[in-house]
Amino acid sequence: MPELPEVETVRRGLAPVMEGARITCATVNRPDLRWPFPPDMAARLTGKRIIRLGRRSKYLLADLDSGETLIVHLGMSGRMLVSGDPLGVFHRDHPTPEKHDHVVFDMESGARITFNDPRRFGAMDLVASDATERHWLIEKIGPEPFGNAFSESYLADALKPRKSPIKTVLLDQRIVAGLGNIYVCETLHRAGISPLRKASDLSRARAAALVPVIRDVLSEAIEAGGSSLRDHRQTDGELGYFQHAFRVYDREGTPCVTADCSGTVRRIVQSGRSSFYCAQCQR
| pLDDT tens track for 177-192 | 999 999 999 999 999 9
Residue 158 has a pLDDT of: 98
Cα distance between residue 144 and residue 132, in whole Å: 15
Amino acid 84: pLDDT: 82
Catalytic-role residue among 3, 8, 68, 186: 3
Of residues 11, 48, 58, 167, which has the active-site annotation?
58
What are the pLDDT digits (tens) for 148-181? 999 999 999 999 999 999 999 999 999 999 999 9
Contact 54, 4 (CB under 8 A): no
99 labelled catalytic: no
User: Please, how many CA atoms are within 13 Å of residue 268, restricted to the half-sphere of its CB?
Assistant: 13
Domain spanning 152-245: CATH 1.10.8.50: yes
Query: Strand, coil or helix: what is 45?
Result: helix
Asked if 51 contacts 78 with a C-beta cutoff of 8 angstroms, the reply is no
Instruction: Let me know if 2 is a catalytic residue.
Output: yes
Show me where the domains of the chain are located. Answer: 4-134, 152-245
Report pLDDT for 225.
Answer: 76
- State residue 228's pLDDT score: 52
pLDDT for residue 30:
96
**Known catalytic membership, residue 86:** no
CATH fold of 4-134? N-terminal domain of MutM-like DNA repair proteins (3.20.190)
- Which pLDDT does position 176 carry in this prediction? 98
The span from the CA of 278 to the CA of 117, in Å, is 35
3 is catalytic: yes
Of 12, 120, 197, 273, catalytic = 273
Catalytic one of 2, 5, 16, 145: 2
Q: Which of the residues in the chain have pLDDT under 50?
A: 90-91, 231, 239
Identical fold for domains 4-134 and 152-245, yes or no, is: no
